[in-house]
Structure 1
Amino acid sequence: MTPRSVLVSGAGVAGPTLAHWLARHGFRPTVVEKAQGLRSSGNPVDVRGPALPVAEAMGVLPQLRAAATSATAMRLLNATGREVARVRMSAGRGRTGHREVEVPRGDLAAVLHEAARDEAEFLFGDSITALRQDEHGVDVTFEQAAPRRFDFVIGADGLHSTVRHLAFGPERDFVRPTGILVATVPLGEPADHPHEVVVCNAPGRLVSVHPSRGEALAAFIFRRPDITAFDHRDTALHKRIVTASHAGLGWRVPHLLDRLQNTDDLYFDAVSIVDLPSWSRGRIALLGDAASCVSLLGDGSSLAIAGARALAAALAAHPTAPATALDRYEAAHRALVMPRQRGVRRSAALLVPATRLGLATRNLAARLLPAGP
Structure 2
Amino acid sequence: MSTPSILISGASIAGPTLASWLGAAGWDVTVIERFDQLRDEGQNIDIRGTGREVLRRMGLEDVVRAAHTHETGLDFVDERGRPVARIAAGTDDTSGGTAELEILRGRLSRILHDHSSADAAYVFGDQITALHDDGRGVDVEFRHGPARRFDVVVIAEGLRSRTRSLVIRDVRLRELGLYSAYFTIPRTDADDNRWRWLIADRGRGVTLRPDDVGTIRASLNMHSATRGLDRLDRADIVTILRATFADIGWETPRILDALDDSPLYFESLGQARLPRWSSGRIALLGDTAYCASPVSGMGTTLAVTGAYVLAGELTRHTDPQAAFARYEAVMRPFAERAQQLRPGFPYMFYPRTRLQRSLVWAGLRAAASPLANRLVGGAGALFSPPAEALDLPDHAMAPRNGG
**Match for residue 329 of structure 2?**
331
Go from structure 1 to structure 2 and tell me whether the alpha carbon gap of 1:273 and 1:316 turns closer, same or farther (over 3 Å shift).
same
- Is residue 47 from structure 1 mapped to residue 47 from structure 2 by the alignment? yes
Inter-partner Cα distance in structure 1 for 2:188 and 2:279: 47
1:162 CA displacement = 2.7
Between 59-68 and 351-360, the greater mean CA deviation after superposition:
351-360
**Match for residue 198 of structure 1?**
196
Write out per-residue CA displacement over residues 9-36 of structure 1, whole angstroms, 9 at most, x where no aligned residue.
0000000000011113322111000111
- Is residue 313 from structure 1 mapped to residue 312 from structure 2 by the alignment? yes
Q: SS at the partner of 1:50?
A: helix
Inter-partner Cα distance in structure 2 for 1:183 and 1:146: 37
Query: Which amino acid is 1:243 matched to?
Result: R
**Match for residue 179 of structure 1?**
177
Write out per-residue CA displacement over residues 201-228 of structure 1, whole angstroms, 9 at most, x where no aligned residue.
1132111110121221001122112x22
- Is residue 157 from structure 1 mapped to residue 157 from structure 2 by the alignment? yes
Inter-partner Cα distance in structure 1 for 2:160 and 2:189: 32
Go from structure 1 to structure 2 and tell me whether the alpha carbon gap of 1:277 and 1:93 turns closer, same or farther (over 3 Å shift).
closer
Inter-partner Cα distance in structure 1 for 2:259 and 2:276: 38
Write out per-residue CA displacement over residues 327-360 of structure 1, whole angstroms, 9 at most, x where no aligned residue.
1101111121111111166441454345335523
**Match for residue 37 of structure 1?**
37
Q: SS at the partner of 2:119?
A: coil
**Match for residue 246 of structure 1?**
245
Asked whether the equivalents of residues 152 and 283 of structure 1 are also in contact (C-alpha less than 8 Å), the reply is yes
Go from structure 1 to structure 2 and tell me whether the alpha carbon gap of 1:73 and 1:179 turns closer, same or farther (over 3 Å shift).
same
Identity rate of aligned residues, in percent? 36
Asked whether the equivalents of residues 89 and 100 of structure 2 are also in contact (C-alpha less than 8 Å), the reply is no
Write out per-residue CA displacement over residues 149-201 of structure 1, whole angstroms, 9 at most, x where no aligned residue.
1111111011121321222127xx42221001111101143673332111111
Go from structure 1 to structure 2 and tell me whether the alpha carbon gap of 1:195 and 1:291 turns closer, same or farther (over 3 Å shift).
same
**Match for residue 300 of structure 1?**
299
Write out per-residue CA displacement over residues 80-133 of structure 1, whole angstroms, 9 at most, x where no aligned residue.
544322222225889xxxx84111111111111111111101001111111111
Inter-partner Cα distance in structure 1 for 2:93 and 2:284: 31
Inter-partner Cα distance in structure 2 for 1:179 and 1:332: 30
Asked whether the equivalents of residues 25 and 313 of structure 1 are also in contact (C-alpha less than 8 Å), the reply is no
Go from structure 1 to structure 2 and tell me whether the alpha carbon gap of 1:2 and 1:285 turns closer, same or farther (over 3 Å shift).
same
Write out per-residue CA displacement over residues 301-322 of structure 1, whole angstroms, 9 at most, x where no aligned residue.
1110000000111111112x22
After superposition, residues 9-20 of structure 1 pair within 5 angstroms as 9-20=9-20
Moved over 4 A (4+): 91-94
Asked whether the equivalents of residues 128 and 162 of structure 1 are also in contact (C-alpha less than 8 Å), the reply is no
**Match for residue 259 of structure 1?**
258
Go from structure 1 to structure 2 and tell me whether the alpha carbon gap of 1:191 and 1:73 turns closer, same or farther (over 3 Å shift).
farther
Asked whether the equivalents of residues 51 and 302 of structure 2 are also in contact (C-alpha less than 8 Å), the reply is yes
Asked whether the equivalents of residues 84 and 361 of structure 2 are also in contact (C-alpha less than 8 Å), the reply is no
**Match for residue 394 of structure 2?**
none
Query: Which amino acid is 1:112 matched to?
Result: L
1:286 CA displacement = 0.5
Instruction: Tell me how many residue pairs correspond in the alignment.
Output: 364
- The TM-score normalised by the length of structure 2 is 0.85
**Match for residue 59 of structure 1?**
59
Asked whether the equivalents of residues 207 and 221 of structure 1 are also in contact (C-alpha less than 8 Å), the reply is yes
Query: Which amino acid is 1:147 matched to?
Result: A
Asked whether the equivalents of residues 85 and 361 of structure 2 are also in contact (C-alpha less than 8 Å), the reply is no
Asked whether the equivalents of residues 31 and 121 of structure 1 are also in contact (C-alpha less than 8 Å), the reply is yes
Unaligned runs of 5+ in 2: 384-403
Asked whether the equivalents of residues 173 and 273 of structure 2 are also in contact (C-alpha less than 8 Å), the reply is yes
